[in-house]
Structure 1
Amino acid sequence: MTTTTEKQSPPRERAVGRGIDRVDGPEKTTGKARFAAEFPYPDLAYAALVHATVARGRITGIDVKAAEAVTGVLSVITHLNAPVLKPAPAQSMLDLSTMVSATSVNYLNTDEVHWDGQPVAVVVAESLEAARRGAALVEVTYQEFPAAVDFAAEQANAKPQKNSMLGSGSGKKGDAEAALAAAPVSVDLRFTTPPHNHNAIEPHATTAVWDGDRLTVHEASQAIAWTRKHLAVRFAIPERNVRITAPYVGGGFGGKGLVWPGTILTALAARATGRPVRMMLTREGVYRTVGGRTPSAQRVALGADRDGRLTALIHTSVTRSGKVGGGPEGVTNAARHLYDAENILVQQNLVEMDLIPNTFMRAPGEAIGTFGLEAAVDELAGELGVDPIELRMRNEPARSPLDGKRFAHRMLREAYALGAERFGWAERTPEPGSMRDGRWLVGMGVATAYHPSVQFTANVTARLSADGTVVVRCGFQEMGMGGATAQAQIAADELGVPYEAVRVEYGDTDLPTGPMAGGSAQTASIAAGLLVACEKLKGAVLGLAKRSGDSPLRGQRLSGVEARDGGLYRLDRPDAGESYETILSRAGRPYVEGVAGAESGLGAVAGQVRFMAKFLSDQRRWVKAACGAHFCEVRVDQDTGEVRVSRWLGVFDVGRVINAKTAASQLRGGIVMGIGMALSEETLVDPRNGRVMNPGLGDYHVAVHADVPPIDIHYLDEPDPTMPLGLLGIGEVSITGVAAAIANAVHHATGKRVRDLPITLDKLL
């Protein structure tokens, strides 16, 4: 007998907002997780790169005899015998996959060299050791050409960045230079930041297998769908013939967002040899073939009246790109939106150089731009004799000051108020050098965090089975941030089932197309598609129920029911409803599916049109951003200049938080990365030849456990009404402002202002 009215159970705790353990935790901690370099294949061969040793030139000869003589070497592939590749496609906003071309170089299809480290040969062997031994024996001669490799010397050749849909290069309100000259109180400062390189725990790796004209690639990637399209173009095969998997990615931070030489050359080597081929970059290989963060030179000038109201704000920058790729970064983005100055001038300038192109690195542009801006605000506060937080609050805008757009969501005042109370900011004495603890000089600093929020498209399917279990499918990437866990939480609440009943499939281009994991956009982008899929699924279930004459749901619209307790129930009669199991079993259906987006045809075109329309509409109407307040305490040894960060508090306005545990982890991780940027990280480039001089963790110093204090994280958890579920994205905002907070705290402790990162002890002695 079918029961059509079922007993109402006690209210179920919602999954969204809870601190649920990541679903991939057991696989990663027990070693069951399989990364790109761990997929087994019979007859697997290994590949190693030979790097160019000049910054610009042309290959005049390659001697491969010694390499070919190494036992186990199968092939040495050079521009003389490499399979033909199609060139990289031109970038277009109408096809976002074109954005993943890391460079315009047609690898091993040219004798031209564009940067020191560019791959000029690939050695394939039976073992990794033989491949690397063979690569070391390849001898290449060059005709060298003059090269621009010294950033300091090339800054004079920088050109203004043009405004485009991808980013604004300049902005102006009033006459900021005149207002600065007339201001009663002003600062006019120069800041520099060095290049930075990626050091994810999993170096870049690729396993490529050809089966006729079908290519399977296991890849450490942040953008499997776009990588798939890119490889299809380069190898001139249908996109449907390419499959990319990335079930686990051991960290990305932007460095795995584009398609770099290793990926393409592994697939090329597999095609040339007819064997499955694996390439695992060494740390040095990552530095020489994968871009990092651009260096910068910044001018920040602020003018104010005696009461601390800003009359002028000028923020200009010079950054670099490669002549064969890379591009501008949003160094001045925060300056456009953070302070209500009467006159504003922002200008980004770009110089092209014969170096590996720059690429995304956690909060590209904003991470280094907020260092200059927030350190300058601190200096102005000192000139005015005003508390640094008070100065910020006096200039907190009601609308975006440069263009007058409304803020979709902004609670920076609340973040600072909560942070000041929790951190004990009132205990700070304002005079530099006035706080001590024995031999340690103690300082406190603050800075604002800011990162824009964006949203891509995502195709998602949600399948509900008659047993009440749910499978969510979307080809997104999991790099350790808990993406699958968050989407399972969202689906559980939307469908009214236990979190444990939801399984998420991801990391494979055979799944519905997911977004790139970048710009702190992945969670919101997938959530938008998932909400649509769940709504369609519930509609389909309700349709089945309404076909039954004795269902209490007959005659109901979707707006009149809610999903809870594993079924659909009426809003006007909460005790009247049916379980999913009842509805599907009665209809003889093993499952019901909801689909968001289309993979091909007019549906796919329509989806792209909707994305562009929403993107442009949001740009015209809103400023969407996550923000926050950093509070930092440092201790500086009075004799040695050693800096220790001793305490940290971050309070963030990141919209709705999906998972309390993973959100805090992401925010804390950004701060840790920012501590490294402030105190130790620096890529050293030889100004004579463009070679990276410290390509590895032995000489490039990231923050380690001993450098990191207890980090207290708080977030306001207030939703942004213009974003899916009100979430803004958290992956990048927490690194912004970190370097400035440390620099400001160091100045408070010592009276010395360091404007050139990193803040090493020699700059304090």
Structure 2
Amino acid sequence: MKFNKPASDNPIDRQKVVSQPRDRIDGPLKTTGTATYAYEWHQEVENVAYGFVIGAGIAKGTIENIDTAAARQAPGVLTILTAENVGPLGKGEMNTATLLGGPTIEHYHQAIALVVAQTFEQARAAAGLVRVAYRREAGDYSLAAAKPHVTTPPEDTPDSVTGDFATAFAAAEVQLDATYTTPDQSHIAMEPHASMAAWEGEKLTLWTSNQMIAWCRKELAATLQIDKENVRVYSPYIGGGFGSKLFLRADALLAALGARAIQRPVKVMLQRPLVANNTTHRPATIQHIRIGTDRQGRITAIAHESWSGNLPGGTPETAVQQTNYLYAGANRLTGLRLAELDLPEGNAMRAPGEAAGMLALEIAIDEIAEKAGIDPVEFRILNDTQVDPTNRERFFSRRQFVACMRQGAERFGWSRRCATPAQVRDGRWLVGMGVAAGFRNNIVSESAARVHLDANGVVTVETDMTDIGTGSYTIIGQTAAEMMGVPLEQVVVRLGDSDFPVSAGSGGQWGANTSTAGVYAACVKLRDAVTKKLGLDPDTAEFSDGKVIAQGRTVALGDAARDGTLTAEDSIEFGDLDKQFQQSTFAGHFVEVGVDIATGEVRLRRMLAVCAAGRILNPKTARSQVIGAMTMGAGAALMEELAVDTRQGFFVNHDMVGYEVPVHADIPDQEVIFLDDLDPVSSPMKAKGVGELGLCGVGAAIANAIYNATGARVREYPITLDKLLAQLPELA
């Protein structure tokens, strides 16, 4: 199905099933422990062996020798694989470093060996007997140290320039010039990276935890140098990814190599200390923001430049992209700078770009609003725009940013906020309110599905779309139920199998909108097949309550399949509407905090998100996504940081003890409001993504609330006690 013009009325608009707060259909499986995750498929496969990954003990250099003699004699050991004995490997397009290092080491904890044994314990014990001699080389591990030497943009990412920023900023009546920093962050998904591989002749089956089935299949085939038609990837349940499982990782490759070496199935899981350094992370940033306004607070000049680091050949953190679209202003400059660092690969983490960029931009907006003497909510509303500020001929498809701000302010009681910092006390707590905009672009991508109808009226959906804890099973089932006019209980959803049609996958906040649009397209074809089989007019047929009604006739839906199951397959192919219109999602984030006047301890008291993100396909699962994102935003604001050892080049706190994330006690009651926001330009579903929008801006709202509570302006995340204490004594 081609989607070349805005959607008109269609069966989804009935909203009998879609947009209803339905429980997750996969919930009972997960809560009873019967949903099978990547490391649990041994229940289905016999004679499984276990692999244990050895990671490099240096960040840069070469391996001089790997002594495996003692390990090979250890009980239960079946084989030990290194780059020297696995044979030639290719390399896919989506990994910066090679997944099996040696002799060259590109980053700390790069996989350099796999010990395979009869049991996990035997493999782990034998791995401890492997001795590796390295020749260490000096590396670059500090973004701050590298920054002065990085003055030009990456070749393929030129600066975005509109008007004359320098002249306009110099002439601005009110000016802000400030620098903000965000640290390296880890995804810390609940489920570690894990895979099981089995070969049958030349054909490989991989059970894994991966967000993008088609990407994984292609990259694995390229690395193994085999035909991708000989690779089947299976990932029906994923225990969180946040971007860390977008790409092929070492666990998958090493499981495949181990299974090939011993000709039996092999399971590999990255132990927690390896996840932070061996897989990807969100890179640290240094962001320089300059804003100029007139005396009325209208932005006349805005510049946002961001420095980040990555391995040679890696990409920058795109922290400036929201600044191109969020606020008006005739004179603009945004640019990225990329330093080559020898730290582990930086790549996508939930809302890449905007999540880090909004942490800085939305503090800067509060700071310039204060300089201009304008309430921060009103300042944001004043600088709203209905056109793309970098291309004033292109309008937003939908933009309810002002409504998010207005409704959020009213709901939160913003009018009660004291504009002067450090004036509100509740016992030993200084209390403050903060606000920030939420912004995330809407991305669309081709997505396909296959649907079946049997004689009992049961509809089965098949697509390689994944569910990373987001509710894909449920919204896909709701879409098919709505389109075919059956109860949700009469829909079977099968996901995460490369034998199924290729979906857009889970990532970039595009998964919900695009995957359901692909199901919509397949159901349109199935509806046509049903009406043809029943001899009914497809243009007037109504599918409702398990029946098809047209031309005065009412026929049971299952009758169309009485001679055999009907099957239809199609994809949604997006035209250039995303070029004609700027498609984005918006939110208003409001936070109240208390700060202990003596210790600087920060406690969240209230949180509110008002979101405009197209049709909300399931308010219950969408709310779950947003409150999870708000929680992640709290972590980014107050505690999350991968500590870099700038001498040895690795992340020190590479486990769930040292890397702090919010727990239940850190999070107060959270409120989420979804605005009515159908967007016919986005897809036939008129939906957009929302799970990353709930993150973008939250951390800045917390920082702004802390400032309102204490008068302490912290521009370096996370906002820990040491950054507040020096400013608190004057308030005591």
Normalising TM by the smaller chain, what interval? Answer: over 0.9
Quote the residue 2:544 is aligned against. 564
Return the alpha-carbon distance in structure 1 between the equivalents of residues 54 and 110 of structure 2: 8
Quote the residue 1:97 is aligned against. none
- 1:564-583 matched pairs, under 5 angstroms: 564-570=544-550, 576-583=553-560
Quote the residue 2:710 is aligned against. 750
Match of 1:647 among 587, 606, 611: 606
Quote the residue 1:718 is aligned against. 677
Cα shift at 1:322: 1.2
- 2:120 corresponds to 1:128: yes
Partner SS for 1:70: coil
Which amino acid in structure 2 is aligned with residue 596 of structure 1? D
- 2:283 corresponds to 1:298: no
1:231-264, Cα deviation, whole Å (9 max, x unpaired):
1222222222111111110001001001122221
- 1:320-399 matched pairs, under 5 angstroms: 320-323=309-312, 325-399=313-387
Coordinate RMSD, CA, aligned: 1.7
Larger mean CA deviation between 188-197 and 234-243 belongs to 234-243
Q: In the alignment, is the contact (CA less than 8 A) between 1:12 and 1:565 conserved in 2?
A: no
Q: In the alignment, is the contact (CA less than 8 A) between 2:451 and 2:462 conserved in 1?
A: yes
Quote the residue 2:487 is aligned against. 498
TM-score, structure 2 as length reference: 0.94
Q: In the alignment, is the contact (CA less than 8 A) between 2:287 and 2:305 conserved in 1?
A: yes
Return the alpha-carbon distance in structure 2 between the equivalents of residues 161 and 464 of structure 1: 53
Quote the residue 1:155 is aligned against. 147
Partner SS for 1:735: coil
Return the alpha-carbon distance in structure 1 between the equivalents of residues 666 and 515 of structure 2: 35
1:245-297, Cα deviation, whole Å (9 max, x unpaired):
11110001001001122221121111122221111111101012101000000
Return the alpha-carbon distance in structure 2 between the equivalents of residues 519 and 18 of structure 1: 24
Q: In the alignment, is the contact (CA less than 8 A) between 1:247 and 1:477 conserved in 2?
A: yes
Cα shift at 1:752: 0.7
Cα shift at 1:509: 1.1
Cα shift at 1:466: 2.2
Return the alpha-carbon distance in structure 2 between the equivalents of residues 13 and 162 of structure 1: 46
Match of 2:98 among 105, 108, 129: 105
Cα shift at 1:13: 7.1
Partner SS for 1:149: coil
Q: In the alignment, is the contact (CA less than 8 A) between 1:217 and 1:245 conserved in 2?
A: yes
Return the alpha-carbon distance in structure 2 between the equivalents of residues 673 and 455 of structure 1: 24
Which amino acid in structure 1 is aligned with residue 693 of structure 2? V
Which amino acid in structure 1 is aligned with residue 38 of structure 2? A
Cα shift at 1:12: 9.2
Cα shift at 1:169: 4.6
Return the alpha-carbon distance in structure 2 between the equivalents of residues 389 and 309 of structure 1: 13
Quote the residue 1:604 is aligned against. none
- 2:583 corresponds to 1:624: yes
Match of 2:567 among 593, 597, 601: 593
Return the alpha-carbon distance in structure 2 between the equivalents of residues 83 and 731 of structure 1: 42
Return the alpha-carbon distance in structure 1 between the equivalents of residues 155 and 407 of structure 2: 37
Cα shift at 1:76: 1.8
1:673-729, Cα deviation, whole Å (9 max, x unpaired):
010010000001111120211111111100111111100001113111112211111
TM-score, structure 1 as length reference: 0.90
Which amino acid in structure 2 is aligned with residue 152 of structure 1? A
Quote the residue 1:403 is aligned against. 391
1:498-527, Cα deviation, whole Å (9 max, x unpaired):
111111111111222222210111121112
Partner SS for 1:478: coil
Q: In the alignment, is the contact (CA less than 8 A) between 2:577 and 2:681 conserved in 1?
A: no
Cα shift at 1:163: 7.5
Quote the residue 2:7 is aligned against. none
Q: In the alignment, is the contact (CA less than 8 A) between 1:83 and 1:268 conserved in 2?
A: no
Quote the residue 2:130 is aligned against. 138
Larger mean CA deviation between 375-384 and 237-246 belongs to 237-246
Larger mean CA deviation between 394-403 and 617-626 belongs to 617-626
Cα shift at 1:582: 4.0
Partner SS for 2:645: coil
Return the alpha-carbon distance in structure 1 between the equivalents of residues 187 and 561 of structure 2: 50
Quote the residue 1:673 is aligned against. 632
Cα shift at 1:561: 2.4
- 2:663 corresponds to 1:704: yes
Return the alpha-carbon distance in structure 2 between the equivalents of residues 211 and 630 of structure 1: 53
Q: In the alignment, is the contact (CA less than 8 A) between 2:173 and 2:294 conserved in 1?
A: yes
Q: In the alignment, is the contact (CA less than 8 A) between 2:386 and 2:399 conserved in 1?
A: no
Partner SS for 2:267: strand
Cα shift at 1:66: 2.4
Larger mean CA deviation between 339-348 and 129-138 belongs to 129-138
Which amino acid in structure 2 is aligned with residue 487 of structure 1? I
Quote the residue 1:510 is aligned against. 499
Q: In the alignment, is the contact (CA less than 8 A) between 1:460 and 1:514 conserved in 2?
A: yes
Quote the residue 2:89 is aligned against. 85
Which amino acid in structure 2 is aligned with residue 747 of structure 1? Y
Q: In the alignment, is the contact (CA less than 8 A) between 2:59 and 2:107 conserved in 1?
A: yes
Match of 1:52 among 49, 56, 60: 56
Q: In the alignment, is the contact (CA less than 8 A) between 2:97 and 2:106 conserved in 1?
A: no
Partner SS for 1:713: strand
Quote the residue 1:600 is aligned against. none
Return the alpha-carbon distance in structure 1 between the equivalents of residues 561 and 272 of structure 2: 54
Aligned length: 709
- 1:104-253 matched pairs, under 5 angstroms: 104-105=97-98, 107-108=100-101, 110-158=102-150, 160-162=152-154, 169-253=158-242
Cα shift at 1:213: 1.1
Partner SS for 1:733: coil
Q: In the alignment, is the contact (CA less than 8 A) between 1:514 and 1:526 conserved in 2?
A: yes
Return the alpha-carbon distance in structure 2 between the equivalents of residues 85 and 681 of structure 1: 36
Cα shift at 1:330: 2.1
Quote the residue 2:254 is aligned against. 265
Return the alpha-carbon distance in structure 2 between the equivalents of residues 106 and 436 of structure 1: 54
Q: Which runs of 5+ in 2 are unaligned?
A: 1-12, 726-732
Partner SS for 2:388: coil
Quote the residue 1:98 is aligned against. none
1:416-475, Cα deviation, whole Å (9 max, x unpaired):
111111111111111001111111000000000111111222221111222211111111
Partner SS for 1:132: helix
Return the alpha-carbon distance in structure 2 between the equivalents of residues 734 and 130 of structure 1: 44
- 2:649 corresponds to 1:693: no
Return the alpha-carbon distance in structure 1 between the equivalents of residues 637 and 59 of structure 2: 29
Which amino acid in structure 2 is aligned with residue 625 of structure 1? S
Which amino acid in structure 2 is aligned with residue 30 of structure 1? T
Which amino acid in structure 2 is aligned with residue 397 of structure 1? T
- 2:414 corresponds to 1:454: no
Q: In the alignment, is the contact (CA less than 8 A) between 1:47 and 1:125 conserved in 2?
A: yes
Quote the residue 2:22 is aligned against. 20
Quote the residue 1:436 is aligned against. 425
Return the alpha-carbon distance in structure 2 between the equivalents of residues 584 and 196 of structure 1: 52
Quote the residue 2:10 is aligned against. none
Return the alpha-carbon distance in structure 2 between the equivalents of residues 420 and 210 of structure 1: 59
- 2:521 corresponds to 1:532: yes
Partner SS for 2:694: helix
Q: In the alignment, is the contact (CA less than 8 A) between 1:87 and 1:104 conserved in 2?
A: no
Return the alpha-carbon distance in structure 2 between the equivalents of residues 384 and 86 of structure 1: 57
Q: In the alignment, is the contact (CA less than 8 A) between 2:99 and 2:250 conserved in 1?
A: no
Return the alpha-carbon distance in structure 1 between the equivalents of residues 154 and 391 of structure 2: 17
Q: Which runs of 5+ in 1 are unaligned?
A: 1-10, 92-100, 547-552, 598-606
1:609-637, Cα deviation, whole Å (9 max, x unpaired):
x56xx3xx245312111110000000000
Cα shift at 1:560: 2.2
Q: In the alignment, is the contact (CA less than 8 A) between 1:62 and 1:141 conserved in 2?
A: yes
State the identity as a percent: 39
Compared CA separation, residues 12 and 361, structure 1 to 2 (3 A): closer
